[in-house]
Amino acid sequence: MRKDLIQVDDLARQDIERILERAESFAEVSGREIKKVPTLRGRTIVNLFYESSTRTSSSFELAAKRLSADVVNVKSTGSAVDKGESLKDTVQTLSAYDPAAIVIRSPHAGAAGLVARWSAAAVINAGDGKHEHPTQALLDVYTLRRRLGALEGVRIWIVGDVLHSRVARSGIQAFARMGCEVTVCGPPTLIPRGVEALGCNVSWSLDGIGEADVIYALRMQNERMTGSFVPSLREYAARYQIDGRRLRPNQLLMHPGPVNRGVELAGEVVDSPQALIVQQVESGVVVRMAVLYELLAGGGPAREASRFTQEDPTRVEPQPA
Amino acid sequence: MRGALSGALERAGGPATGSILIRGARLFDPRAGLDRAGDLLVREGEIAEVGGARQLEAPPEAEVVEAEGLTVLPGFVDPHVHLRTPGREDEEDLESGTRAAAAGGYCAVLAMPNTDPVVDSAPVLGSLRERARDEARVSTGFLAAVTRGQGGEQLTEMAELADAGAFAFTDDGLPVARSGVLRQALQYQRLAGRVLALHEEDPSLSGAGVMHEGEVAAVLGVAGIPSVSESTTIARDAAIAGFEGGRIHVQHVSARESVVAIERARAEGVAITAEVTPHHLCLTEDSVRTLDSSFKMNPPLRSAEDRSALVDALRSGTIDCVATDHAPHAREEKEQPFEVAPMGVTGLETAFAALHTRLVLPGVLDLATLVERMTCGGEPFGLEPPTLEPRADADLCLIDLDAEWEVGEAGYESRSANCAFAGQRLTGIVRMTVATGAVAYRERSFAIGAVA
């Protein structure tokens, strides 16, 4: 493991497996009444969010708190960022607090990589533009592996707006690295030219989707529904919506959320037992705990935190009376 | 510099009066068929004499340059630089930009008009020329805008601007997007009599793109600029130029499809010339994988196939000349995420060394062709290429073809550091540049001694 988690390509298969196993052990902690472990006590984690986000930011916050870290949340609105402070200056200012990690979400590709260059902290990319969202990919892999046991040879179809999706870009690579066979499917206007380079097949129609073991639907963002990417929502839904007719009984369904019911997914499949959507959200916390542990206390490069590595991360500290 | 438009060039210092004797160098001027060891005497702005090695006598007061192991080349001419003056003198001014040019072996540069204010009126042009007479270390010409404020709508007073010394017309940085406006500019060219230099791009195809549309953009999730954005606009503009009997110069060609469009236009008799940058000849979209904004420019770095098509086109002459598109940017502007950072890289100080290292040394292009393509940048606009023949203007540079250096290690002469070759080890160092008989640049470590 490197100092940071910027993109899926930073992770070897064994890194992913180690994180998944760590997440499993944290899942056990999450089942306890007291869900906290002392691993990161006294250390500071900054959540720097330049885009609105509910599930990712809350999940990172919760993950950090369950590891007993101190958490500082910085949002772009109402902060110095609003006053025109550059990303570099913001990072240097926050670095003065000597954070162990900076979690950053930005509307711009490469922002997390820049922060990693400017800061000694471990930097975790929580989404940079349309580039990558590696912790989402890890939690997707975790969720699916929990359900299926093994991922080797599993066929996954990722359906929808691949062009604008960081979830797709990270997901394709992570699933492929775990031995899955990935196909992306969507209207040609929303599939980037050259996407095969990520290690996937391309299909313009759902015709062959019967072969899929897992259908991963992407969120169709409101701003893409108009304009020339798709002629109309009606035509998009007619061609690409996953509904009860298209989802076969032996297939699993995933979605990064939030779902547009009636657009990429019909209501009936969202609520079906084949859907793993709620499990994906649940997995978010333990997987992000595992990532924080891995970078700050685990198998990462020798950092000042290495004294924690000998401890059992799941050991619950006696609470003061 | 000589040629129909040499009178529109400006340089500080007035006519050179002294003498310089370069002794024992390799004299290399492929256009003149010259390649031998010899001495070269510069006197009063001209090449006074070329003789055998250690055969010329130094006149009294002459500077004598011991140039054993060095090569004298005709000075380079760059038809495409951004000197950021007026308006962004924090990024570059006429002195620093022409110092960077001289450090790269250039004896003449042509500056683009996309400044603040835009060079779209005779008074702005006049004040720039006046400033250049005080500050420019090498001969400097200024292009004026095709449309007022580069707005793409209303033509500038092209005839008056031409009289005031506009070298050519361009809206560089932006295309002349509307076909009708370009047609009018080409019709008006009959009055103004200057070349139209064109930034070829279709905004509706480029959209929000910031890099080449291809595999790397797909992996990075960054919006792409397709090659056809450039090539279709070249085809359109060439068709209109052919129809109007106009004369166009295609700026910074980046795509294989564009080379095809230029070949076709030329085959049909269109008066068209073209330039290509060192970064498009040496680098590809692969460099963008790290999302380092030092590799962000417009047009973007394209695929390996595009790069090799550009090299072939430069070799065959389909592309006439090398242009740096030297585009300085402030550090804080480039230190932003890739999608937000401005487009453009500096290139004057590295052009020869990069091309020599990446194309000549591996045997892809011969040195003679490179020198020809780097010295003829003024030709499409009415400047004769510099030469080492006696009685020519003394525009030349002295290069150590074997010396290695690391780009940026010793800083830059330019005020800006956004160089696409930063950190690379290159072979070939410019030791000295002479522009119209005057020393415009001397590398710090390069010792010279004046002989009485």
Give the pLDDT of residue A279.
96
Examine the domain organization and report whether A91 and A52 are in the same domain: yes
Residues A27 and A57 in one domain: yes
Shared domain check, A269 and A142: yes
Average pLDDT over residues A229-254: 94
Two structure tokens written together for A93: 């200012």
- Considering only alpha carbons, which residue of chain B is nearest residue A170? B219
Residue A3 lies in a domain: no
Cβ-defined contact of B335 to A114 (cutoff 8 Å): yes
> Is A1 within the bounds of a domain?
no
Q: What is the pTM of this model?
A: 0.93
Asked if A109 lies within 8 A of B338 by C-beta distance, the reply is yes
Domain assignment present for residue A2? The answer is no
Classify residue A315: in a domain, yes or no.
no
Complete DSSP assignment for B351-419 = HHHHHIIIIITTTSS-HHHHHHHHH-TTGGGT-PPP--STTSB--EEEEEEEEEEETTTT--SSS---B
Q: Are residues A219 and A294 in the same domain?
A: no
Grade residue B126 by pLDDT with cuts at 50, 70 and 90. very high
Residue pair A47/A125 in contact by the 8 Å Cβ criterion: no
A136 pLDDT above the threshold of 70: yes
Q: Quick: pLDDT tens for B273-293.
A: 999 999 999 999 999 999 999
Would you call B332 an interface residue with chain A, using a CB distance cutoff of 8 Å?
Answer: yes
Catalytic site residue from B120, B171, B325, B393:
B325
Let me know if B400 is a catalytic residue.
Answer: no
Is A88 a member of any domain?
Answer: yes
**Is residue A194 located within the same domain as residue A75?**
no
Is the CB of residue A257 less than 8 Å away from at least one CB of chain B? Answer: no
> Inter-chain contact B218–A114, Cβ cutoff 8 Å?
no
CA B103 to chain centre: 13
Q: Judge whether A145 is closer than 8 Å to chain B, CB to CB.
A: no
**Residues A127, A58 within the same domain:** yes
Q: Is the pLDDT of residue B418 over 60?
A: yes
Please give, rounded to a whole number of angstroms, the shortest distance from the CA of A30 to a CA of chain B: 35
Together in a domain, A128 and A138: no
CB contact under 8 A, B221 and A88: no
> Quick one: pLDDT band at residue A14, thresholds 50, 70, 90?
very high
Describe the strand order of the beta sheet including A70-75 as a list of residue ranges. A70-75, A44-49, A101-106, A122-128
Residue of B216, B290, B339 with shortest CB distance to A108: B339
| Chain B environment of A113 (Cβ under 8 Å) | 290-291
Q: Which of residues 73-112 of A touch B (CB under 8 A)?
A: 86-88, 106, 108-111
- Is there a single domain that holds both residue A60 and residue A122? yes
Q: B175: cis peptide before it, omega within 30°?
A: no
A311 has pLDDT over 70 = no
Q: What is the 3-state secondary structure (H, E, C) of chain A?
A: CCCCECCHHHCCHHHHHHHHHHHHHHHHHHCCCCCCCCCCCCCEEEEEECCCCCHHHHHHHHHHHHCCCEEEEEECCCCHHHHCCCHHHHHHHHHCCCCCEEEEEECCCCHHHHHHHHCCCEEEEEEECCCECHHHHHHHHHHHHHHHCCCCCCEEEEECCCCCCHHHHHHHHHHHHCCCEEEEECCHHHCCCCHHHHCCEEECCHHHHHHCCEEEECCCCHHHHCCCCCCCHHHHHHHHCECCCCCCCCCEEECCCCCCECCCECHHHHCCCCECHHHHHHHHHHHHHHHHHHHHCCCCCCCHHHHHHHCCCCCCCCCCC
Q: Which of A48, A130, A173, A182 to mutate to probe the B interface, most B CBs <10 Å?
A: A130
| Nearest chain A residue to B332, by CA | A86
Q: Are B343 and B295 in contact (CB under 8 A)?
A: no
Q: pLDDT for B34-87, tens place per residue?
A: 999 999 999 999 999 999 999 999 999 999 999 999 999 999 999 999 999 999
Q: Best interface-test mutation with B: which of A104, A131, A191 has the largest number of B CBs within 10 A?
A: A131
Contact A193, B228 (CB under 8 A): no
The alpha carbon dihedral of B84, B88, B91, B93 has a sign of positive
Same domain as A253, residue A201: yes
How far apart CA B214 and CA B234 sit, in angstroms, is: 20
Q: E strands within B230-328?
A: 247-250, 271-276, 321-322
Among the partner-chain residues A108, A131, A197, the one whose CB lies closest to the CB of B340 is A108
Please answer yes or no on whether B335 and A129 come within 8 Å at the CB atom: no
| Model confidence pLDDT, tens digit, residues A101-113 | 999 999 999 999 9
pLDDT at A225 over 90: no
Chain A CB contacts of B332 below 8 Å: 86, 88
Claim to verify: residue A215 and residue A93 sit in the same structural domain: no
**Contact call for A195 and B218, based on CB within 8 A:** yes
Query: What CA–CA distance (Å, rounded) separates A108 from A87?
Result: 11
In this prediction, residue B204 has a pLDDT band, given cuts at 50, 70 and 90, of very high
- A130 to B221: CB separation less than 8 angstroms, yes or no: yes
Q: Which residues of A touch B222 (CB under 8 A)?
A: 109, 129-131
Same domain membership, residue A274 and residue A176 = yes
Inspect the interface and report whether the beta carbons of A108 and B290 lie closer than 8 Å: no
CATH code assigned to B75-381:
3.20.20.140
ipTM: 0.89
Closest-CA residue of B relative to A171 is B219
pLDDT exceeds 50 at position A303: no
Predicted local confidence at residue A305, as pLDDT: 37
Q: A interface mutation test: which of B289, B291, B332, B335 has the most A CBs within 10 A?
A: B291
For residues A14 and A91, membership in a common domain is answered with yes
pLDDT per position as a tens digit, B215-234: 999 999 999 999 999 999 99
Task: Please give the CATH number for the structural domain made up of B6-72+393-450.
Answer: 2.30.40.10
In the three-class reduction of DSSP (H, G, I as helix; E, B as strand; rest coil), residue B261 is classed as helix
Any idea where the domains of chain B sit in the sequence? 6-72+393-450, 75-381
Task: Tell me whether residue A319 is in a domain.
Answer: no
Q: Where residue A313 falls among pLDDT bands split at 50, 70, 90?
A: low
Size of interface A-B (CB pairs under 8 A): 73
Q: What is the CATH number of the domain that holds A41?
A: 3.40.50.1370
Helix pair A277-296, A134-148: axis angle to 10 deg: 120
Answer whether residue B32 shows pLDDT above 90.
yes
Nearest residue in B to A196, CA atom:
B215
- Looking at the structure of chain A, the number of domains it has is 2
Contact between A318 and A34 under an 8 Å Cβ cutoff? The reply is: no
For residue B445, pLDDT beyond 90: no
In a domain, A171, yes or no: yes
The confidence score (pLDDT) of residue A233 equals 87
Mutate to test the interface with A, among B293, B334, B339 (most CBs of A within 10 A): B339
CB contact (8 A) between residue B215 and residue A197: yes
Say how far apart CA B397 and CA B399 lie, in whole Å.
6
What's the first-to-final CA gap in chain A, in angstroms?
39
* Residue A250 belongs to domain spanning: 134-279
Q: Is A196 a member of any domain? A: yes
Residue B267 one-letter amino acid: A
Nearest to A213 by CA among A181, A172, A170: A181
